[in-house]
Structure 1
């Protein structure tokens, strides 16, 4: 007699694009952008909105980092030169370009004289700097299991104290990256489990998110407890995401997440300078959100593959290419 296991996961072939990853990536990057749309225009965010986004802070960037880690083995199938070039073209390049954009639009925390600024310090672009560091270390997982880097990073996160935001962010969010790289080795087994354990993970993580938002505000970092509780939520979300119906517009955003990520803050800041204090607060938020989402969508639609977001691929004269698309993680 068969037992009911619920909807089957969408287990695409290894080389196929995993649409559920695009779905999660799109949702996570939009949550980041929407939070900044409320946080940047006014120093005090309405209490209910602040609480909601504080609760979601346990999942937004952790999910993005975890998904990149899941795809690490796929990226490492490429020759080392191709792997490195891809990360420089699609992560380092937009990091530099959009750091310069922040200087041009007058971002208050822009410090072009500091090398840390060009690694994202003082702006939302820190995520790309951390991702670069993770991919650099990730090369070593060709010879060393990623769990080793998770354990070493865990110990370093618990013991190392520094005032450098780049180091702190790398030690913290890098753990989600290498947790994802570790999980990739057992992902199929996890996705074939019954729903009870993933659901329990989500319940525990949700309870933690509610407690954290109420007591701590923005989710605390650099401690083992919030790390493990947040990871429970991420792996639970991954299990259920493979069973959700497709949401093609959100998958589209996920495939172009780099555009939304790097461009949303300049749009928000430019509109904030123009309308904050002029329009009523609700109208300010509405205009900021609409312009930010509309501007990012237009950039993604018409300039997504341009030099604004990736350095042109260098080819020898007269040499043909195979036309293979580069993975969304760079």
Structure 2
């Protein structure tokens, strides 16, 4: 993919994956016991949900690396580290049960849904190495580390596991166009294999096991199969809209669900709590995405740099710094 390319199907897939995460949390957070059928479906979808989000980010790694180093670092700090910090503080304010402000790992997302942003930061930090080495080298090294390292720190384990999908995406970006030119047989087989594994594991194990190369291999087959089909489906503009604002939906949905649960859980039937939590969450996230996307809640203001710091040359006297 060339820098500046925008694939609408990526936005749609990102939007779908974020909404699936929110849907699951709307059932999981208000009550400790989730209806068996819904829990099974969520466990099945764990083959696709977060792996797809990480894979899509990895697909765009080369595009990010096409920027100068200062712009690359600035972008990740503004758009990932900043909302991670802000919404970790929000969790403290709403008395999220596992909020531990004295624990440094909490500020990297441990103990909450924000772990995804912490892992994404780590992946982009390591991903800078792919300016000089092929991402498949990092992927293989990650597989070895994932099989070998068993930490008591959730951030480490999550990075080793879900980081594999990020670097699988970065690797696949080099061959994406070739993959998308294939006929349907191989993508269908990939989806069948991944879905069969997800169904089996959801039935036998519950949540799909991690920290092993076989579940990763089967899951990644499903992810690339979904990508193949997504490029051939009709446009879903509303999903694209959500995907373009996925950071808003991702970071904000849990506080909305939690506050709703605090107010009505135990007062009304569980089914009503689930429905109200989902409606309030989607409506709240929509309003934030519609009116506050790009504000300090989700993005730190752009830092103006001297042109020499951005493109590697000294600024011309009297020349204005570029607006990027």
Q: Is TM more than 0.5 here?
A: yes
Q: CA separation in 1, counterparts of 2:249 and 2:150?
A: 32
| Other-structure match for 2:256 | 267
2:218 aligns with: 229
| Aligned residue number for residue 104 of structure 1 | 93
Counterpart position of 1:241: 230
Deviation at 1:242, TM superposition (A): 0.5
Q: Matches of 1:316 and 1:81 in 2, distance apart? A: 9
Return the match for 1:115 from 94, 104, 117.
Answer: 104
One of 27, 39, 53 as aligned partner of 2:16 = 27
Instruction: Identify the residue that residue 143 of structure 1 maps to in structure 2.
Output: 132
- C-alpha root-mean-square deviation of aligned residues, in Å? 1.4
The alignment status of 1:39 with 2:28, answered yes or no, reads: yes
Q: Please, which runs of 5 or more residues in structure 1 have no aligned partner?
A: 1-11, 325-330
Deviations 1:192-236 (A, max 9, x none): 001100010001111111101101111111011110000000000
| 140, 162, 167: which one aligns with 1:178 | 167
**1:263-294 deviation line (CA, Å, top 9, x unaligned):** 00000000000000001111111100000000
CA distance in 2, matches of 1:35, 1:51: 11
Distance verdict in 2 for CA 1:137–1:48, change over 3 Å: same
2:146 match: 157
Partner of 1:257: 246
Distance 1:224 1:76 in 2: 28
In the alignment, which residue of structure 2 is the partner of 1:300? 289
Q: Using the alignment, how far apart are the partners of 2:219 and 2:66 within structure 1?
A: 29
The equivalent of 1:281 in structure 2 is 270
**1:54 aligned to 2:40?**
no
Alpha-carbon separation, structure 2, partners of 1:88 and 1:212: 37
1:290 pairs with 2:279:
yes
Paired position in structure 2 for 1:7: none
Match of 1:64 in 2: 53
What's the CA shift for 1:314? 2.0
Counterpart Cα distance in 2 of 1:109 and 1:146: 35
- Find the residue that maps to 1:116 and give its secondary structure: helix
1:3 is matched with: none
Quick one: distance in 2 between partners of 1:14 and 1:314?
Answer: 21
Q: Distance in 1 between matches of 2:131 and 2:305?
A: 29
- Preserved contact between residue 2 and residue 63 of structure 2 (Cα < 8 Å): no
| 1:160 shift after superposition | 1.0
User: Alignment partner of 1:269: what SS?
Assistant: helix
Q: Distance in 2 between matches of 1:71 and 1:219?
A: 27
Distance 1:39 1:199 in 2: 31
Task: From the superposition, tell whether residues 13 and 185 of structure 1 become closer, same or farther in structure 2 (CA, over 3 Å).
Answer: closer
**CA shift for structure 1 position 316:** 6.1
**Separation (CA, whole Å) in 2 of partners of 1:174 and 1:106:** 29
Aligned length: 312
Cα displacement string for residues 45-89 of structure 1 (whole angstroms, at most 9, x for unaligned residues): 000110111100111000000000000000000000000000000
The CA deviation at 1:14 is 5.4
Are 2:3 and 2:66, in contact at CA under 8 Å, matched by a contact in 1?
Answer: no
Runs of 4+ in 1 over 3 A off after TM superposition: 316-322
**Matching of residue 210 in structure 1 with residue 204 in structure 2:** no
Is residue 87 of structure 1 aligned with residue 76 of structure 2? yes
Within-5 A mapping of 1:185-200: 185-200=174-189
